[in-house]
Amino acid sequence: MSANPYATPQSALEVTQEDESAFFVVSITKLAIMFIMTSGLYYVYWSYKNWKIYKDSTGASIWPGARGLFNIFFVYVLFQRINQGIEHSGRHLAWFPKFRAIALIGLTLIGMGQGLLAGFGLSAAVSLVLLCAETYLLIGAQRAINYLEDDSRGESNARFTLLNYAWMLLGLCLWGFSVITLMGMRDLGIL
């Protein structure tokens, strides 16, 4: 404060620019639970949200819904955008986005073709292994997003919502249907 009572008031104003998120922050636990409980369907939503937030923050002329639904064609680009964001922030994270994206594409293609495997039991086992591997790959990508967005634990989106529980309930129904189908096939001697 100045000794001059007629001086213009001075205050230390700090001009801050609020950083807008460029990607979808979610806790690793929530991502893994939602992905596994929905048998991988959460991946469509996860992809959509990432592209929607990216579009909103950059003004890119893209269709997030299409990119979410057809994520196999856009996951490589998404992972590259995440990595570019990390590099532009002046930081570095070794998360191998190219390998991770190519592996995710490969696992998705294997998952699409695994129905051709002889025997539903083998197909179910392969599906479970693929689901776990895809979860692992997405967790690495989510860690990169959370790192980029300065929320490494994903605390801003760690709580489950009512809609999350509804999707998990639907996922439990899908899991239950799969188990019942396997048991029925075993009883019929198909397995």
Q: Contact at 8 Å (CB) between 64 and 90? A: no
Q: What pTM does this model have?
A: 0.83
d(CA 82, CA 55): 13
Structure tokens at 67: 């990119």
Whether the pLDDT of residue 175 is over 50: the answer is yes
Domain boundaries, the chain: 28-156+169-187
> Residue 132 has what pLDDT?
96
Q: What is the pLDDT of residues 59-87, one digit of tens each?
A: 999 999 999 999 999 999 999 999 999 99
Closest to 168 measured CA to CA, from 71, 65, 31, 70 = 31
Q: What is the pLDDT of residues 1-56, one digit of tens each?
A: 557 767 666 655 443 344 578 999 999 999 999 999 999 999 999 999 999 999 99
